[in-house]
Amino acid sequence: MSGLDSNPFADPVDVNPFQDASITQAISGVHESTGEYNPFTANEMGKYTGTTIPVSKASSSQPAVLPTSVEQSPQSAVHQATAAAAQANLVRQQEELERKAAELERKEQELQNRSSRDSNPGTKENNWPPLPRFFPIKPCFYQNFEEDIPEDYRRICKRMYYLWMFHSATLFLNILACLAYFTADAAKGVDFGLSILWFILFTPVSFVCWYRPVYKAFRSDSSFSFFFFFFVFFFQVAVYIIQSVGIPSWGNSGWISSISMIRSNLAVAVVMMVVAGFFTVNAILGVILLKIVHSKYRNTGASFSKAQQEFSQGVLSNRTVQSAAASAASSAAQGAFSSNPGN
């Protein structure tokens, strides 16, 4: 009945597997051998008698984080290209501004030099015509295209000078052609004599009356010099046309005179035709350069009123005119007092 008295629903006896004798012995042996481990005790610290290793040596040369190659995106490449183009554009603009500033400074210096020469004409020694020093006649004019003439008008001014030189050479060749004309026909001595007169007269007169005025006009932007040049050079072009025509007994080896000599003497006719061609070229170049100078004149801002003002100022400031006016006024005053002695 003892088996029936036991409660089948009661908890069985707790069985601890670690209470086994073999397991208990093994655990107790481990605790005894190890005990509590303290690395900072005197016995443990005595084991490490070596030197400490620096961090720089201890650390590997290989970085902890390797740089990763990042591919450049198309958008960033476009931004960089735009920035580079903008920087190049700024550099070009800076260079252009510096060039313009240097050009303005140079032009201002030229204007100052020209104004100083106009106010003090004796500061520069005359150098034209280029005569040797032992020659008794000294140069009468000062001419320097680089210093006097602005760069915008320098080319046309030089062309006018070359036209004057070509004009002088044509007049000299006209003397030779008229001489040949005179040798072929003794009745043509008048043409030879007049050709010499035209060379002696028109060479210096053309230099003074139309070349120097246009030189002064471009040098000092003088409206009066421009108008004087236009007035004189218009008649010079008309004279070129008359000379190229070659009216007999006028001292010009033109087309009419040269054609009339073809039957008499062909060689003389050919020489005269060459000179007639030179006169024709003078006329054509004169018309072209007159037009160019007029276009330059319109860009300078000159006008007829400015020309009148410059002329009046020049006349009033001229010492010769002032002395003549003073002497005329004193003579008039003396005449007035002598006519009225009672007063």
Give yes or no for a contact between 241 and 256, defined as CB atoms under 8 angstroms apart. no
Closest CA to 155 of 145, 163, 165, 164: 145
The whole-number average pLDDT for the span 259-287 is 95
Q: Is the model's pLDDT at 149 over the cut of 80?
A: yes
Structure tokens at 58: 């201890």
Structure tokens at 18: 């670690």
What residues does each domain of the chain span?
A: 150-305
pLDDT above 90 coverage of the chain, percent: 38
Closest CA to 271 of 257, 251, 250, 285: 257
Give yes or no for a contact between 139 and 272, defined as CB atoms under 8 angstroms apart. no
Instruction: List 128's β-bridge partners, or say none.
Output: 141
User: At what angle are helices 151-184 and 189-206 packed, to 10 degrees?
Assistant: 170
Spatial CB neighbours of 315, under 8 Å, sequence gap ≥ 6: 321
pLDDT at 111: 67
- Half-sphere exposure of residue 290: CA atoms within 13 angstroms, side-chain side: 19
Instruction: Give the whole-angstrom CA distance, residue 137 versus residue 130.
Output: 11
pLDDT at 134: 86
pLDDT at 336: 55
Greater confidence (35 vs 152) lies with 152
Judged by DSSP in three states, 242 sits in helix
Q: 51-80 pLDDT, tens per residue? A: 555 554 444 555 555 444 445 566 777 777
Q: 160-200 pLDDT, tens per residue? A: 999 999 999 999 999 999 999 999 988 889 999 999 999 99
Q: Is the model's pLDDT at 117 over the cut of 80?
A: no
Instruction: Give the whole-angstrom CA distance, residue 104 versus residue 91.
Output: 20
Spatial CB neighbours of 257, under 8 Å, sequence gap ≥ 6: 181, 191, 246, 247, 248, 272, 276
